[in-house]
């Protein structure tokens, strides 16, 4: 089991992002993940820009987008800028992409929701070709390229890993076909994860790929505390903000939940890893048994107190990570 962090991404100035990212590297986290949303003021809108900045502030921790909303970007530009980040970081980039779901995000760039799947198919294939081939000649909905040569090429060979997010089975199978790793949303119910991993692994096998060489990352609201009182306080805070934000963003995994699935107990069980370190370990073991290889810790979801986040980071490194490493 690996552990990564989505550092704070809700401050107008970047001091807290830098401090938290450097601390995560010092504590031994495997990666930093930067998200993308637009207009809401809760996340930075340009993950590759932020990762380029973090490349100069860190030394060995991997740097990923979780997720870059590929339909909002031209794939040639993504390939170029991502390759630059990989070069700047000496081969530490993880390019994570997804189709997006928020109407606010899609409408801001005049993207029709029905076109997202085709954009993902063509876009990821083109990025991969630009990274790995000497030159590319192609004509599709995005580009007319004739002996186009990407410069500079990524440092990591044969290319940086492409992480793909998915919710429905068709998109999960697409992730297996086109991507290197699979990312599951924090909105995904725990009860659905075994099925999703099974769909992913089955598609890999049908393509002649061995699932044991692939990784599945799970985004989870994650918070480690010292006492039962702190646990209850964190649960109440994150539950309230979790439901409000995802309902506002219009994520179907949340908007389609029946009332029975929105109870305090069900949200805690299906979406969060919160508690004293022994309780968190028990939950992580359950996810490991479902086929999860990495937990992306969303400790900053909804902008909680940063001192409490730092305490959670240190408790994770001291008590939880050594159990799995």
pLDDT one-digit tens code per residue, 131-144: 999 999 999 888 89
Q: What pLDDT, on a 0 to 100 scale, did the predictor assign at position 36?
A: 95
CA distance 15 to 11: 9
Q: Provide the angle, in degrees to the nearest 10, between the axes of the packed helices 47-55 and 75-88.
A: 20
Q: What pLDDT, on a 0 to 100 scale, did the predictor assign at position 60?
A: 97
CA distance 196 to 78: 28
What's the mean per-residue pLDDT of the chain?
A: 95
144 touches 117 (CB < 8 A): no
Higher pLDDT, 102 or 321: 321
Q: What pLDDT, on a 0 to 100 scale, did the predictor assign at position 249?
A: 81
CATH of the domain at 235: 3.20.20.30
pLDDT category of residue 42 using cuts at 50, 70 and 90? confident
pLDDT in tens, 243-265: 988 888 888 888 888 887 889 89
Rg (CA), the chain: 19
Query: What percent of the chain stands above pLDDT 70?
Result: 100
Nearest CA-CA partner of 99 in 110, 77, 115: 115
Nearest 5°: the CA angle 13, 18, 24 is 145
Q: Provide the angle, in degrees to the nearest 10, between the axes of the packed helices 264-271 and 228-249.
A: 90
Q: What pLDDT, on a 0 to 100 scale, did the predictor assign at position 142?
A: 81
CA distance 270 to 261: 9
- CA distances (Å), origin 29, targets 33, 54, 210, 317, 320: 11, 15, 26, 8, 11
Q: What pLDDT, on a 0 to 100 scale, did the predictor assign at position 262?
A: 83
**Global confidence as pTM:** 0.96
- CA distances (Å), origin 250, targets 6, 41, 106, 253: 21, 16, 12, 9
Token pair, residue 148, equals 């186009």
Beta carbons within 10 angstroms of residue 300's beta carbon? 23
pLDDT in tens, 167-183: 999 999 999 999 999 99
Distance of CA 265 to the CA centre of its chain: 25
Nearest CA-CA partner of 88 in 112, 124, 55, 126: 55
Beta carbons within 10 angstroms of residue 10's beta carbon? 15
The four Cα atoms 11, 75, 253, 39 give a dihedral, to 10 degrees, of 30
pLDDT reading at 88 higher than 80: yes
294 touches 4 (CB < 8 A): yes
Structural domain count of the chain: 1
> Domain limits at 253?
2-324
Q: What pLDDT, on a 0 to 100 scale, did the predictor assign at position 256?
A: 82
The four Cα atoms 104, 107, 112, 114 give a dihedral, to 10 degrees, of 10
Nearest CA-CA partner of 185 in 6, 1, 2: 6
What region, left, alpha or beta, does residue 244 occupy, with left being phi > 0 and alpha being psi -120 to 50 degrees? alpha
CA distance 294 to 43: 22
pLDDT in tens, 265-301: 999 999 999 999 999 999 999 999 999 999 999 999 9
> φ and ψ at 87, to 5 degrees?
-70, -45
Q: What pLDDT, on a 0 to 100 scale, did the predictor assign at position 41?
A: 77
Average pLDDT over residues 143-163: 96
Distance of CA 166 to the CA centre of its chain: 11
Average pLDDT over residues 301-317: 97
pLDDT reading at 30 higher than 90: yes
CA distance 210 to 112: 35
């Amino acid at each position: 089991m690996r552990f990564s962090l989505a550092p704070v991404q809700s401050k107008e100035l970047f001091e807290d992002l830098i401090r938290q990212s450097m601390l995560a590297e010092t504590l031994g986290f495997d990666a930093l993940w930067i998200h993308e949303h637009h207009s809401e003021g809760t996340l930075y809108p340009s993950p590759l820009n932020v990762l380029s900045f973090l490349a100069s502030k860190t030394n060995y921790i991997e740097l990923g987008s979780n997720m870059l909303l590929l339909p909002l970007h031209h794939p040639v530009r993504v390939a170029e800028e991502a390759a630059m980040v990989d070069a700047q970081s000496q081969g530490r980039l993880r390019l994570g992409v997804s189709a997006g779901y928020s109407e606010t995000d899609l409408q801001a760039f005049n993207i029709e929701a029905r076109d997202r799947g085709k954009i993902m198919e063509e876009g990821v294939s083109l990025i991969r070709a630009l990274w790995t081939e000497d030159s590319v000649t192609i004509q599709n909905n995005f580009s007319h390229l004739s002996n186009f040569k990407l410069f500079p090429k990524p440092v990591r060979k044969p290319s940086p890993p492409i992480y793909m997010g998915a919710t429905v089975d068709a998109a999960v199978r697409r992730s297996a076909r086109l991507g290197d790793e699979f990312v599951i949303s924090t909105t995904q119910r725990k009860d659905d994860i075994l099925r999703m991993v099974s769909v992913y692994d089955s598609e890999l096998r049908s393509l002649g790929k061995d699932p044991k060489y692939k990784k599945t990352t799970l985004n989870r609201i994650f918070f480690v505390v010292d006492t039962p009182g702190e646990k209850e306080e964190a649960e109440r805070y994150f539950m309230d903000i979790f439901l409000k934000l995802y309902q506002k963003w219009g994520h179907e995994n949340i908007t389609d939940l029946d009332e029975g699935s929105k109870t305090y107990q069900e949200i805690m069980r299906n979406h969060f890893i919160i508690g004293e370190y022994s309780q968190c370990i028990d939950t992580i073991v359950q996810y490991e048994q479902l086929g999860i290889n990495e937990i992306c810790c969303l400790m900053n979801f909804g902008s909680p107190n940063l001192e409490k986040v730092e305490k959670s980071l240190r408790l994770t490194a001291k008590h939880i990570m050594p159990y799995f490493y």
